[in-house]
Amino acid sequence: MSEDSKIIVENGGHLIINGKILDNADIQMLSGSQIDIINGGVIRMRANKAFDAPLGATVNVNNGRIE
């Protein structure tokens, strides 16, 4: 992702990373959102950004990872 971009997963939103790499990620999850990482998918967070799932959000990692 470019340095000035951001993914916002809204309430009711569902982001699926299926066997691909999302590099230089800046992701904001809102309560009620969901992220699934499957089939070897990877989220690589941008430098100085931490992955955070707020209360009420769901993160499922099945054969994948968050770096």
For the segment 13-53, what is each residue's pLDDT rounded down to a tens digit?
999 999 999 999 999 999 999 999 999 999 999 999 999 99
Q: How far is CA 31 from the centre of its chain?
A: 14
Q: Please tell me the total count of domains within the chain.
A: 1
Domain for residue 1, yes or no? Answer: no
Domain for residue 2, yes or no? Answer: no
Domain for residue 62, yes or no? Answer: yes
Domain for residue 28, yes or no? Answer: yes
Q: What is the DSSP letter of 46?
A: P
Q: Which residues of 47-66 are buried (b: 16+ CB within 10 A; e: fewer)?
A: eeeeeebeeebebeeeebeb
2 pLDDT band, cuts 50/70/90, is: confident
Residues in the chain: 67
Domain for residue 49, yes or no? Answer: yes
Domain that holds residue 20: 7-66
